[in-house]
Amino acid sequence: MKFVKESRTLIKQNIRDYGMYIALFLIMLTFTITTDGLFISSRNISNLINQTGYIAVLAVGMTLVIVIRHIDLSVGFVAGFLGAIAAIMLTKMGLSVIITIPVILLLGILIGLVNGFLVAKLEIPSFVASLAGMLVFRGALLLVTEGTGTIIINDEFFNAIGNGFIPDIADVGNIHLLTLILGTLAIALYVWSQIRTRANKKKYNFEVTSLGMFILKISFVSVLIACITWILAGYNGLSWTVVVVLIVVALYHFISTKTVLGRHIYAVGGNPEAAKLSGINVKKITFIVFGSMSMLAALSGILYTSRLQSATTTAGTLFELDAIAAAYVGGVSAAGGVGKVTGSIIGALVMASLTSGMNLMGVGISYQYIIRGAVLAAAVIFDVATRKRRK
């Protein structure tokens, strides 16, 4: 009985988070059934995840932007523009990837600091400032691709970022061995860190979840990682895109939950006045968040350009709205101060799964938009409803 009670309070406290995972699970299950298992096939899942990469990194940055009560509409064309610059550096200027990528990321940060300046120092509403940025970078993208049209990239190393997979260490038939090993390592690392956290809490004499619940939780997550690993190992293994996204998510999750900077970001979102009176430099936080946003936009541009193996004149169109949708589906609140980086990734996966599944089912593009819109609305309604009930 105690176990049931504990699980009930756990669910009640975390209904928003759990709801999202359940939604993703249900969506995947539905598509798996309606497509006779095609959806869950290694190849499709691998493709799905790789296609989501460039939106996922944007969603991570957008989460923090929305958390501090702002918005950034410029990210789509910043990604498109910087992708084109990357293409030009690699082709016309003949620079190597090793130089190109850091330079592009740096340019991203610079653009973000300009946005931060407009929003924090000049106090222009971020909606307007970034709308202006969107127009400017759309123009800039056209300007740099005007003469050449689509720029084809032949750099194998660069193209691998969006299309390649991590190499295998040994040939064992259809299974990607290194992916399996990494998956196993990930599970081991997860279990070890959970046990350590629990032990640490016990050392402080804090209340911890019961042993049964603890084992249930780590087994569940371990099985989940194992499943994903198995599915990916069945195709080409881990792609470089997934590796990049995982690193970004891990880094931002760490910053947002474990560091002083993260706490300050959420405090600014929760109550800017109180944050300021607590000695937090609200302007500095705004600069950092916008800087990080545009850096991730640059990364998104790299991922997208690499995936297409070329820079196009329309790259980046509507990326910002996909990222914003992913963040909202992932539980970010427009009122500020609430929203998890991991949630936004799940949000991005939900949206990508819908597109992929409906494509496999042959649903017309018109219905796809309508359904995705409905899901976005439903997620926000669920959010508002659960938040009200908690009061």
Partner 1 sequence: MIMVEHILEMRNITKEFPGVKALNNVNFKVKRGEIHCLVGENGAGKSTLMKVLSGVYSHGEYTGDVIFNGEVQKFTSVRDSEKAGIAIIYQELALVPEMTVYENIFLGHEIRKGAAIDWNETILQAGEMLKRVKLNVNPAVKIKDLGVGKQQLVEIAKALSKDVKLLILDEPTAALNEDDSENLLKLLKELKAQGITSIMISHKLKEVIAIADTVTVLRDGQTICSLDAKKGEITENVIIKNMVGREIDNIYPKRNFKPSNETVFELKNWSAYDPGLGREILKDINLNVKKGEIVGIAGLMGAGRTELAQSIFGNAAEYQLKGDLIIKGQKKVFKHPDDAIRAGIAYVTEDRKGNGLILIDDIKQNITLANLKSISKNGVINQNEEIKVANEYKASLNIKAPGIEQKVGNLSGGNQQKVSLGKWLFARPDILILDEPTRGIDVGAKYEIYTIMNELVRQGMSIIMISSELPEVLGMSDRIYVVSEGRITGELSIEEATQERIMELATN
Residue nearer to partner 1 on the CB measure, 166 or 208: 208
Question: Residues 33-59, buried b or exposed e (16+ Cβ, 10 A)?
Answer: eebeeebbbbebbbebbbbbbbbbbbb
389 binds partner 1 (CB under 8 A): no
261 binds partner 1 (CB under 8 A): yes
240 binds partner 1 (CB under 8 A): no
Alpha carbons 19 and 17: distance in angstroms, whole number: 5
Among 73, 231, 275, 323, binds partner 1 (CB under 8 A): 275
Compute how many residues bind partner 1; rule: CB under 8 A. 27
**Taking the complex as a whole, how short is the minimal distance between the CB of residue 184 and partner 1, in angstroms?**
28
Among 76, 80, 83, 337, binds partner 1 (CB under 8 A): 337
Tokens of 117: 């300046």
CA dihedral of residues 197, 11, 327, 48 (deg, nearest 10): 80
Between residue 157 and residue 216, which ones bind partner 1 under the rule CB under 8 A?
A: 200-201, 203-204, 206
Residue nearer to partner 1 on the CB measure, 78 or 338: 338
Contact 243, 166 (CB under 8 A): yes
For residue 174, the tally of other CB atoms under 10 A from its CB is 8
**Taking the complex as a whole, how short is the minimal distance between the CB of residue 273 and partner 1, in angstroms?**
4
Among 193, 210, 278, 314, binds partner 1 (CB under 8 A): 278
Contact 151, 88 (CB under 8 A): yes
Residue nearer to partner 1 on the CB measure, 119 or 352: 119
Among 12, 43, 92, 258, binds partner 1 (CB under 8 A): 258
Contact 76, 134 (CB under 8 A): yes
Which of these segments, 176-184, 216-224, 262-270, 348-356, binds partner 1 (CB under 8 A)? 262-270
Contact code string over 295-334 relative to partner 1, x by CB under 8 A: ----------------------------------------
For residue 1, the tally of other CB atoms under 10 A from its CB is 5
State the DSSP H helix or E strand holding residue 172, giving kind and residue range, or none if neither: strand 171-172
Tokens of 345: 């990734």
271 binds partner 1 (CB under 8 A): yes
Which of these segments, 253-261, 314-322, 339-347, 373-381, binds partner 1 (CB under 8 A)? 253-261
Tokens of 336: 């500020």
Tokens of 292: 């990080």
386 binds partner 1 (CB under 8 A): no
Question: Residues 353-382, buried b or exposed e (16+ Cβ, 10 A)?
Answer: bbbbbbbbeebeeeebeeebeebbeebbeb
Alpha carbons 300 and 344: distance in angstroms, whole number: 15
Among 21, 270, 359, 368, binds partner 1 (CB under 8 A): 270
Which of these segments, 35-43, 119-127, 159-167, 255-263, binds partner 1 (CB under 8 A)? 255-263
123 binds partner 1 (CB under 8 A): no
Which residues contact partner 1 by CB under 8 A?
A: 200-201, 203-204, 206, 258-261, 263-264, 266-267, 270-271, 273-281, 337-338, 391
